[in-house]
Amino acid sequence: MAFALFMAVLALFVFMAFRLRMLTLDGAFSSWGLGVVITAAFGYRGLGLLLLFFISSSLLSKWGKEKKKKLRTLSVESTGRNAGQVFANGGAAFIAGGGYLLFPHPFWLALFIGSLAEASADTWASEIGVLSKGEPYHLLRRTRVERGISGAVSPLGLAAAALGSLLISATGALMFFDGKWIFPVLLFIFLAGFLGNVLDTIIGGTVQLGFRCRICGAEVEEHTHCGVLTEKIKGWSSVNNNTVNFISSTLAGLAAGVVILWIL
């Protein structure tokens, strides 16, 4: 009975997110499926943590939207997250839920929280970091670049990443753990989420596909810009932003899971 109620609440939330253009149609179905598995595995607390990530990330995507539209390196979406983006950020959480249903163990719980902590850190860093006044520093090129280019960081973006990881790790630790384990779990999952975001930045600056606009010269992640096809300048054809997000969140979740195996 309780599970059916949670599914009804989830369906209503997903429908509202679709109507508010936070999700595309395929993104809505994917989000609902993700929520079903997470709720079945981790109960209402798991669903609550998933919704906390989604709501905070969606609200941040709206923050400073007009300013983001002026950045030639970014493509600001108006239709919401699609199925690929949902899986990129929540695929590791989905795997964790499935693993927990088959083999119940705290490892899967830590993987779930850690992957969402990294996804939150990455989203917060991306959505807030691009609003920095100064140009970010590219970790690999060791020079200043335009805002919005993969592989670059800023003090504001790093602070946002830390806060995003802390929000999820602290909430997850308080929800699922008690007593003497709360602080160590919080600390290690926070570090996994934050460092996973740094890894995301490094992968994004190396093997992720990157293009240059033939018209304005901007470095972008899209195949077209200014109405023409862009020129590939780096990366592997199979590695786009969704791929990088999935890899980073999965590795962060696995790191959190391994640490939990060690400390519990």
The pairing of strands 224-225 and 219-220 is unpaired
pLDDT at 96 over 70: yes
What long-range pairs does 67-72 form, CB within 8 A, spacing at least 24?
67/131, 68/130, 68/131, 71/130, 71/146, 71/147, 71/148, 72/146, 72/213, 72/216, 72/218, 72/220, 72/225
pLDDT digits (tens, 9 = 90+) for 194-207: 999 999 999 998 99
Q: Which of 196, 194, 188 is nearest to 246 (CA)?
A: 196
Q: Which of 153, 154, 135, 155 is nearest to 145 (CA)?
A: 135
Whether residue 46 lies inside any domain: the answer is yes
In this prediction, residue 7 carries a pLDDT of 82
Whether residue 55 lies inside any domain: the answer is yes
Whether residue 253 lies inside any domain: the answer is yes
Using CB atoms within 10 A of its CB, is residue 96 exposed (0-12), middle (13-18) or buried (19+)?
Answer: buried
In this prediction, residue 120 carries a pLDDT of 97
Q: Which residue type, as a one-letter code, is found at position 78?
A: S
Cβ of 64: how many Cβ atoms within 10 Å?
14
Whether residue 226 lies inside any domain: the answer is no
Which domain range does residue 28 map to? 2-73+80-202+237-263
CA atoms in the 13 A half-sphere facing the CB of 227: 0
Average of per-residue pLDDT across 204-232 = 87
pTM: 0.93
pLDDT band at 125 (very low <50, low <70, confident <90, very high): very high
Structure tokens at 87: 């899986």
Whether residue 87 lies inside any domain: the answer is yes
Whether residue 223 lies inside any domain: the answer is no
Structure tokens at 99: 């693993």
In this prediction, residue 221 carries a pLDDT of 82
pLDDT at 76 over 60: no
In this prediction, residue 201 carries a pLDDT of 94
Whether residue 221 lies inside any domain: the answer is no
- With pLDDT > 90 as the criterion, what percentage of the chain qualifies? 60
The pair phi, psi for residue 135, each rounded to 5°, is -75, 140
In this structure, of 1-5, 12-16, 112-116, 146-150, the range with the lowest mean pLDDT score is: 1-5
**Number of folded domains that form the chain:** 1
Cβ of 70: how many Cβ atoms within 10 Å?
8
Cβ of 165: how many Cβ atoms within 10 Å?
30
Tokens 């999965």, residue? Answer: 250
Whether residue 112 lies inside any domain: the answer is yes
